Amino acid sequence: MKKNKWSLLLAALLLVSTVLAACGGGSDKSSGKGSKDSEQVLRLMNADQIPTMDSSLATDTFAFQFLGESMEGLYRLGKDGKIEDGIATEHKVSADGLTWTFKLREDAKWSNGDPVTAHDFVYAWRRAVDPATGSEYGPYMMGGVIKNATAVNKGEVPVEQLGVRAEDDYTLVVELENPTPYFESLTTFGTYLPLNQKFVEAQGDKYATSTETLLFNGPFTLEKWTSTSNKWELVKNKNYWDKDSVKLDKITFVVVKDPQAGVDLYDKGQVDRAGLSSDLVDMYSSNDDFITIPQANVFYLKLNQVRNGEKTPLANVNIRKAIMMAVDKEAGVNEILNNGSIAANGLIPKDFVKVPGKDKDFRAASGDLAVYNKEEAKKYWEQGLKELGVTSVSLEFLGDDGENAKVFNEYVANQLKTNLPGLEITIKNVPFEQRLDLDTAEDYDIQFSGWGPDYLDPYTFLSLWVTDGPNNHMGYSNPEYDKLLQDAQTTLANDQDKRYEAMLQAEKILLEDAAIAPIYQRSLALLSSPKVHNIIANQVGADYEWKWAYIK
Amino acid sequence: MARYILRRLGYMIVTLFIIATLSFFLMKMLPGSPLNAEDKLSEEQKAIVLEKYGLNDPVPVQYVRYLTGLVQGDLGISFKFDNTPVTQILMDRIGPSALVGFQAMVIGTILGIALGLIAAVFHNGFLDYTSTIIAVLGTSIPSFVFAGLLQYVFAVELGWFPVALWGEPEHTILPTIALAITPLATAARFIRTEMVDVLGSNYMLTAKAKGISQAGRVWKHGFRNALIPLVTVIGPMAVNIMTGSMVIEQIFAIPGIGEQFVSSVLVNDYPTIMGTTLLYAFAFIVIILIVDLLYGLIDPRIRVTGGNK
């Protein structure tokens, strides 16, 4: 009996070992796979796939990232937002600021050998606003800028009437709706990239769904890619007009979504950079390879003055001022985010644009307009309560449930409750999409929200709160603010000094009204190999520029 | 038998139709839109884009169009991956999930059965308690903890296996183990309980009296009887595991379908969500049919017949 039992156990163990042996077949091949020393290879991770490479349809950060590196528009953004030559070598602006004439280089080629011409820009821009294309960024980036863009998109005039034409193969003439001083920086954006009509039309529905269905004219070509790939490469483009400036031979990418796994791969030396989520920052902030990259994304509280047709307590300016001053932002960014993010005491981010003629950062010129001050906040609060004739106020705090968001929302709400006696706050964290829905419906009291710029001009932020603007959604209206911004886009558009004065004034009004409560300006924390040099972090468009990067 | 299978296939089509309908209407209830830049566009501009997706049409029209495509095997075009058919996304993604899932199912089930048998034969002994502890741990530790632990110990600290990524056979090892723990624990638990029951029954005593060896008794008389409940749970579990785990795939950076499903939901990629749901449902009912047929094979007393009982 005993013997039998053991023979059974033996049989079971045999079964187990067979299975174990079967799965032990793999051998470790990962080491020594690196490339030759002479070859410049950068190994990076991407947090998601590239959903499309169609510049007219692109909407997400990764699409714009890889479009930016594999294609080239009229201009390219360099270090500190400096505009560098692209396909255009120079341009002239007419006296009224409405007609821009670009001279294109004649040595730029598509990866199939075709020359890049002015016709490629005309085709691409028309395609971006053509309603049949169904582009989201086309009407957004071109509407109100290029003549007739909005009308074409609505189908009111034929697409041929869009204000762009090729005077000859290498001269592009653009007519604008209003003088647009930041048009140069707009032309670096993905939606403005040229397209080779013959190639795009030959690909039909398949265009830009894989490497084979794409043409490139940028510093790199995108290789081994399909829209569902998890790995791909950027390879130095031998046909690029400025190939001598490109040092890297290759950049490899693999999709890794889990930040911990990313950091582990970095520790094992398999990748050269890894992003850090806030829970990882504490562990790695003393690491030699730890760096932070300041961004131009600003986060703030939207204070809704009208909800469901009725005025909220936030319609009272003293209540809003109290809220704007009641949050200790320094402590929030240092203790909770701890990734280099800084407290925002205004709307326009630091190091984003300079005030022309003064060589002074916009933020510095404008000063601290919304600072934390517990005592002042309390005074405004009591004044506000008195005006409303109440002793307490309950507000709903709407946030989304993204990474960091929950903890940070808790913190902000708690600061408000502590510093403003009689304030009750209910936090409502919902998925991002739902927050946008509630925002559109203006169905919230306080909302934690943020904005990233689309071009290098304060207008990209300030335009958010013009009366009934598509992003206002909080019942804010100040005719003086509206007037200043309208002037900035029309009468003052050709006078940069006055224009910036108007925008500085507008920001002041916005925060005197305490229309919003700025909280912080974001930084990204990451681990970056000391061998890697000269990766430029852009404020708009593609997040990173690798054209001039090298390994040493 | 053939009639039975035919009838079941008929039910399958009805079930799929109901699931397709339900998921279609649930989709309509999701907040937000598939637009990415919706906070940047006016209502009018949004409408122009939604036109392209066919989302401005009345819901019944969209429903009929969806069903018509479905009958022709067309799951539509993804909203997120422009111009990429959902079928292509599913095909690209199901491979890694199915491979890791299959390995985990096979290894997990076999090890679990072995563990359960050992526990039953050595009932209330040391080996029984050990295997019960393993089974309890296996069911109670959340997979992201277990997977994270495996990754940390065997990849980061010991360096035996790759940390993450996909492509070589060795990349599948840690995720397979992480996934195998569920079928392992389940199989061990079921087999142990059933075997303890069966081994104590009268016919086992009879068999023993007839002089059949213990191994013979356990394998021939005991094990087969104990398998029935296990087969019932293992089938649906196989579907679950082979269609991918979002957590495991994210931690080990596997380009699988479970992770894809969750990210599609987050960006309101309706066609991909529905396609994945249908694929899941389809696999599920096929497996249930197979399980029902297996019952007859394992235990001839259970007969599958059409109509007349």
* Segment A468-524, tens digit of pLDDT: 887 899 999 999 999 999 999 889 988 989 999 999 999 999 999 999 999 999 999
Confidence grade of residue B197 (pLDDT, cut at 50, 70, 90): confident
pLDDT at A22 over 50: no
Confidence grade of residue A224 (pLDDT, cut at 50, 70, 90): very high
Mean pLDDT of chain B: 86
Measured between beta carbons, the chain B residues lying within 8 angstroms of A52 are 81-83
CA–CA distance, A536 with A101 (Å, rounded to integer) = 29
Location of structure tokens 């490479």: A53
List C-alpha distances in Å: A289 to A270, A530, B88, B280.
15, 7, 40, 44
What DSSP assignment string belongs to B61-108? Answer: HHHHHHHHHHHTT---B-SSSTT-BHHHHHHHHHHHHHHHHHHHHHHH
pLDDT at B136 over 90: no
Section B36-59 average pLDDT: 82
pLDDT at A30 over 50: no
The pLDDT of residue B305 is: 56
Q: Which residue has the higher pLDDT, A269 or B208?
A: A269
Inspect the interface and report whether the beta carbons of A228 and B32 lie closer than 8 Å: no
The helix/strand/coil state of A385 is: helix
Could you tell me if residue B124 is left (phi over 0), alpha (psi between -120 and 50 degrees) or otherwise beta? left
CA–CA distance, B186 with B172 (Å, rounded to integer) = 22
Q: How far is C-alpha A55 from the geometric centre of its chain's CA atoms?
A: 16
List C-alpha distances in Å: A283 to A24, A330, A339, A527.
34, 21, 11, 11
Pairing of the two strands A446-451 and A393-400: parallel
Closest chain A residue by Cα to residue B88 = A228
Which residue in A136, A431, A471 is closest to B36 by CB distance? A136
Query: Positive or negative, the Cα torsion across A78, A84, A88, A91?
Result: positive
Location of structure tokens 């109290």: A322
Confidence grade of residue B51 (pLDDT, cut at 50, 70, 90): confident
pLDDT at A145 over 90: yes
pLDDT at B21 over 90: yes
The pLDDT of residue A5 is: 55
pLDDT at B303 over 90: no
For residue A144, which of B41, B39, B36, B38 has the smallest C-alpha distance? Answer: B41
Contact A400, A432 (CB under 8 A): yes
Mean pLDDT of chain A: 90
CA–CA distance, A17 with A15 (Å, rounded to integer) = 6
pLDDT at B67 over 60: yes
For residue A399, which of A443, A442, A449 has the smallest C-alpha distance? Answer: A449
Which residue in A54, A132, A261 is closest to B82 by CB distance? A54
Inspect the interface and report whether the beta carbons of B33 and A4 lie closer than 8 Å: no
Contact A336, A522 (CB under 8 A): no
Give the highest mean pLDDT range of A66-70, A454-458, B126-130, B261-265.
Answer: A66-70
pLDDT at A209 over 50: yes
Section A427-433 average pLDDT: 87
Section A25-32 average pLDDT: 38
Section B265-287 average pLDDT: 89
Say which amino acid occupies A436: L
- The 10s digit of each residue's pLDDT in A85-101 is 999 999 999 999 999 99
pLDDT at A130 over 70: yes
pLDDT at A533 over 50: yes
Give me the count of residues in chain B. 309
pLDDT at A27 over 50: no
Inspect the interface and report whether the beta carbons of B215 and A8 lie closer than 8 Å: yes
Contact A167, A117 (CB under 8 A): no
CA–CA distance, A376 with A325 (Å, rounded to integer) = 7
Inspect the interface and report whether the beta carbons of B45 and A49 lie closer than 8 Å: no
Pull the structure tokens for residue B204.
């086992």
Alpha helices by DSSP H, listed for A102-147, are 118-129, 137-142
Q: Which residues contact B165 (CB under 8 A, 6 or more apart)?
A: A254, A256, A265, A270, B171, B252, B253
Calculate how close chain B gets to A439, using CA atoms only, in Å.
Answer: 9
CA–CA distance, A228 with B91 (Å, rounded to integer) = 10
The pLDDT of residue A2 is: 45
Which residue in B33, B41, B89 is closest to A228 by CB distance? B89
pLDDT at A18 over 50: no
Inspect the interface and report whether the beta carbons of A261 and B151 lie closer than 8 Å: yes
CA–CA distance, A396 with A380 (Å, rounded to integer) = 20
* Mutation target among B52, B77, B84, B176 for the A interface, most CBs of A within 10 A: B84
Confidence grade of residue A12 (pLDDT, cut at 50, 70, 90): low
The pLDDT of residue B304 is: 59
Closest chain A residue by Cα to residue B31 = A434
How many other C-beta atoms lie within 10 A of the C-beta of residue A318? 18
- The 10s digit of each residue's pLDDT in A289-299 is 999 999 999 99
pLDDT at A10 over 70: no
How many other C-beta atoms lie within 10 A of the C-beta of residue B59? 11
Measured between beta carbons, the chain B residues lying within 8 angstroms of A11 are 215
The helix/strand/coil state of B3 is: helix
Closest chain B residue by Cα to residue A451 = B39
What DSSP assignment string belongs to B254-302? Answer: ---HHHHHHHHHHTT-HHHHHHHHHHHHHHHHHHHHHHHHHHHHH-TTS
pLDDT at A24 over 80: no
The pLDDT of residue A160 is: 96
pLDDT at A417 over 60: yes
Confidence grade of residue B208 (pLDDT, cut at 50, 70, 90): confident
pLDDT at A220 over 80: yes
Confidence grade of residue B216 (pLDDT, cut at 50, 70, 90): confident
Which residue in A11, A52, A471 is closest to B39 by CB distance? A471
CA–CA distance, B255 with A49 (Å, rounded to integer) = 10
The pLDDT of residue A6 is: 53
Domain ranges in chain A are: 295-523
List C-alpha distances in Å: B145 to A275, A392, B102, B104, B164.
22, 44, 21, 17, 16
The pLDDT of residue A3 is: 47
CATH number of A295-523: 3.10.105.10
Burial of A292 (0-12, 13-18, 19+ CB in 10 A): middle
pTM of the complete model: 0.87
- The 10s digit of each residue's pLDDT in A437-474 is 899 889 999 999 999 999 999 999 999 999 988 789 99
Q: What percent of chain A has pLDDT over 70?
A: 93
Q: Which residue has the higher pLDDT, A300 or B217?
A: A300
Q: Which residue has the higher pLDDT, A459 or A27?
A: A459
The helix/strand/coil state of A522 is: strand
Inspect the interface and report whether the beta carbons of B83 and A208 lie closer than 8 Å: yes
φ/ψ of A458, rounded to 5, equals -60, -20
Q: Which residue has the higher pLDDT, A358 or B100?
A: B100
Inspect the interface and report whether the beta carbons of A227 and B122 lie closer than 8 Å: no
The pLDDT of residue A91 is: 96
Q: Please state the CATH superfamily assignment of the domain spanning residues B86-302 in this structure.
A: MetI-like (1.10.3720.10)
List C-alpha distances in Å: A293 to A195, A522, B115.
32, 9, 52
Pairing of the two strands A99-104 and A88-93: antiparallel
Contact A235, A223 (CB under 8 A): yes
Q: Which residues contact B160 (CB under 8 A, 6 or more apart)?
A: B154
Confidence grade of residue A228 (pLDDT, cut at 50, 70, 90): confident
Q: How many cross-chain Cβ pairs, A to B, lie less than 8 Å apart?
A: 187
The helix/strand/coil state of A7 is: helix
